[in-house]
């Protein structure tokens, strides 16, 4: 297949759904680990095409959703300083911190908060505003880390001293291990995130598959990709096979993008990271190496990472670990909506609560058919 429409073709999708049903003999629970996949599953009604034995659960694959309340509070505090221009991806602006304030409120009250589409834009803003401190709120999984690393590398090469990073980057494999090691784990197979593996490859996932005896299929984001990924995963489960397979071969190779990986490891090293609603996971975050510590906003503004008591009404932690679905949150659709979000998964374009609100609530309210594949 060459064109994106072909990956949304109803006939091909239905063939995969039939093939999955034909090989399924017992219940299986599969987790997708990417917010983009979650949105496709809910938008296209993929879970409703599957036999009742297959349960899909949504993992912690939305970087905006897992950014800790403490880091959101720090971004708000830094953005409120008169000498600072805070640069961020748009999704972060409406994520509430511990006092229900967000970056959009800071912007509305005069703070200089700017939406950027690439970390390199923030370097340009620093060059254009030498009298200001420009801080990039660096959020994202392995997919976005290379461009952040390039931004810091460029800033160092160009001698730009008014640029720094508030680093919130997170890594997928430690989160998968945390879920699998939990006594509450019910995941029997994983769909790994295709775009993350485009950068990292899937070498590292082999050890996870073997250690936890679990099939992993690197999967894309279109409906046919996801159904093919589920088919490959169910086939492994039904035959007792445990390996890492690559459904998304048009983008992912075994070793990934070596140049990007080298740049990332020259600039960053792993560190413990607090995940919103989940807690601290060892080696699941990145921090700047000592050679780049001058670009660390935590040092520049003397900010300390502190654990913060999170709001109990938001069950995002349980949702991000696949223990609950968004509609099981008492606040879903009433106190918490995209217009008035109480938690990050209702804000982000990759958040599970936003996906359920946007696609499923409407479907269930007006009785539209569940399957929207063209």
CB of 333 to ligand SF4, least distance (A): 7
Contact 158, 108 (CB under 8 A): no
256 or 343: CB nearest ligand SF4: 343
How far is residue 205's CA from residue 155's CA, in Å, rounded to a whole number?
33
State the residue number with the nearest CB to ligand SF4: 343
CB of 90 to ligand SF4, least distance (A): 18
272 or 330: CB nearest ligand SF4: 330
195 or 325: CB nearest ligand SF4: 325
Angle at 106 between CA 104 and CA 107, to 5 degrees: 65
Considering only the C-alpha atoms of the chain, give the largest distance between any 2 of them, rounded to a whole number of Å: 66
134 or 329: CB nearest ligand SF4: 329
CB of 164 to ligand SF4, least distance (A): 30
Residues that bind ligand SF4 in the complex, under the rule CB under 6 A: 313-316, 319, 326, 329, 331-332, 336, 342-343, 345-346, 353
Contact 64, 113 (CB under 8 A): no
| Exposure b/e, 60-75, CB count within 10 A at least 16 = b | bbbbbbbbbbbbbbbb
| Strand arrangement, sheet containing 163-169 | 112-115, 84-88, 133-140, 163-169
Contact 182, 211 (CB under 8 A): no
95 or 288: CB nearest ligand SF4: 95
């Amino acid at each position: 297949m060459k064109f994106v429409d072909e990956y949304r073709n109803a006939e091909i999708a239905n063939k995969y759904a039939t093939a999955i049903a034909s090989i399924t003999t017992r219940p299986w629970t599969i987790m997708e680990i990417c917010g983009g996949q979650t949105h496709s599953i809910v938008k296209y009604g993929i879970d409703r095409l599957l036999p009742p034995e297959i349960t899909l659960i949504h993992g912690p694959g939305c970087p905006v959703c897992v950014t800790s309340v403490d880091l959101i509070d720090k971004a708000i505090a830094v953005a409120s300083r008169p000498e600072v221009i805070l640069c961020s991806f748009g999704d972060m602006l409406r994520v509430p911190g511990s006092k229900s304030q967000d970056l959009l409120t800071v912007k509305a009250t005069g703070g200089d908060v700017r939406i950027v589409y690439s970390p390199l834009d923030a370097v340009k803003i620093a060059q254009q505003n030498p009298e200001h401190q420009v801080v990039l709120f660096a959020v994202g999984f392995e997919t976005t880390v290379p461009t952040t690393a390039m931004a810091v590398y460029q800033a160092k090469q160009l001698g730009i001293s008014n640029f720094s990073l508030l680093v919130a980057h997170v890594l997928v494999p430690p989160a998968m291990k945390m879920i699998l090691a939990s006594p509450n784990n019910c995941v029997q197979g994983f769909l790994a995130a295709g775009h993350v593996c485009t950068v990292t490859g899937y070498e590292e996932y082999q050890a996870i598959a073997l250690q936890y005896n679990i099939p992993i299929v690197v999967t894309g984001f279109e409906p046919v990709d996801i159904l093919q990924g589920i088919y490959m995963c169910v086939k492994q489960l039904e035959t007792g096979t445990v390996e890492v397979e690559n459904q998304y071969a048009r983008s992912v190779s075994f070793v990934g993008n070596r140049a990007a990986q080298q740049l990332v490891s020259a600039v960053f090293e792993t560190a413990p990271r607090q995940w919103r609603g989940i807690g601290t996971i060892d080696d699941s975050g990145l921090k700047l190496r000592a050679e780049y510590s001058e670009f660390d906003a935590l040092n520049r503004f003397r900010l300390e990472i502190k654990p913060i008591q999170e709001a109990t009404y938001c069950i995002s932690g349980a949702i991000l670990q696949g223990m609950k679905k968004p509609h099981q949150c008492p606040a879903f659709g009433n106190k918490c909506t995209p217009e008035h979000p109480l938690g990050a998964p209702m804000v982000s374009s990759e958040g599970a609560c936003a996906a359920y609100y946007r696609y499923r609530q409407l479907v269930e309210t007006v009785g539209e058919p569940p399957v929207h594949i063209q």
